[in-house]
């Protein structure tokens, strides 16, 4: 069982206040406060939610009241709730300077936007609207055909097209120091393999850049080259 001191230390690593942790874990701020102060004995289910929330942001608890941030990690995510949590991580990356200055651009490759709309359900427009409010945000999306299902007004998305993607490139999503391999053809879609690794994330960006330079924009040119 983790302690209140560990929870406070975990928040400090992420620069979170108690309200932020409560929101991300789906708990009440007073619950977090009471657990940290030792006022109440938390239920196992509550602790599991807190641990899982920290784990989603690469913070883990170790014996003897230890807390550490994982340098490299792999997380398996599946289903609607995990998909929503995943997009929350993407949004947080969108708020960082490196997503605006070209240091660590957000890159989407070979992912059908209609699947995001389908499996994010009502959360899809919520996510799209909040991205529209991030000033200066640009996201590169490489697809094998014109995206006819994008959310209206998504000026932050820059599309290019490369028809060879369809059969030879596995879908992936890169943001910050993380990249994800995504599979929607599963019983409880989507299945996401989220990998936190600065080196591998950069490697996928380099791969993306090569394809981006060989792709084109504009639906008419695409139609001519089918």
The H-assigned helical ranges of the chain are: 4-14, 18-25, 29-37, 44-56, 79-94, 113-120, 123-132, 165-168, 198-214, 219-224
Region of poorest pLDDT, from 68-77, 108-117, 133-142, 172-181: 68-77
- Written as six digits, the tokens of 160 are 């290019």
Q: Please state, rounded to an integer, the average pLDDT across all residues of the chain.
A: 88
- Written as six digits, the tokens of 102 are 């070209």
pLDDT single digits (tens) 20-72: 999 989 999 999 999 999 998 889 999 999 998 898 787 889 998 899 987 78
State the fold for domain 73-224.
Endonuclease; Chain A (3.30.870)
C-alpha distances (whole Å) from 74 to each of 55, 108, 179, 221 are 10, 19, 10, 39
For the chain, give every domain's residue range: 4-69, 73-224
> Hey, which CATH number is domain 4-69, 1.10.260.40, 3.40.50.970, 3.30.300.20, 2.40.128.120?
1.10.260.40
- Across the range 128-138, mean pLDDT stands at 93
Domains 4-69 and 73-224 share a fold: no
């Amino acid at each position: 069982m983790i302690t209140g001191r560990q929870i406070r230390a975990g928040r400090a690593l992420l620069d979170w206040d108690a309200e932020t942790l409560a929101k991300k874990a789906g708990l009440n701020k007073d619950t977090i406060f009471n657990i940290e102060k030792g006022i109440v004995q938390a239920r196992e289910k509550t602790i599991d939610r807190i641990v899982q929330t920290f784990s989603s942001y690469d913070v883990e608890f170790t014996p003897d009241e230890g807390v550490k941030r994982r340098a490299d990690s792999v997380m398996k995510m599946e289903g609607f709730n995990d998909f929503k949590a995943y997009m929350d991580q993407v949004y947080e990356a969108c708020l960082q300077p490196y997503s605006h200055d070209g240091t660590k651009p957000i890159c989407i490759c070979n992912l059908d936007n209609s699947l995001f709309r389908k499996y994010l359900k009502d959360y899809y427009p919520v996510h799209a609207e909040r991205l529209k409010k991030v000033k200066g945000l640009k996201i590169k999306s490489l697809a094998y055909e014109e995206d006819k299902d994008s959310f209206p007004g998504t000026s932050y998305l820059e599309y290019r097209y490369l028809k060879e993607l369809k059969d030879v490139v596995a879908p992936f999503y890169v943001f910050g120091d993380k990249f994800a391999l995504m599979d929607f053809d599963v019983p409880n879609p989507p299945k996401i393999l989220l990998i936190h690794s600065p080196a591998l994330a950069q490697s996928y960006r380099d791969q993306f850049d090569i394809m981006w330079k060989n792709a084109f924009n504009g639906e008419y040119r695409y139609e001519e080259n089918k």
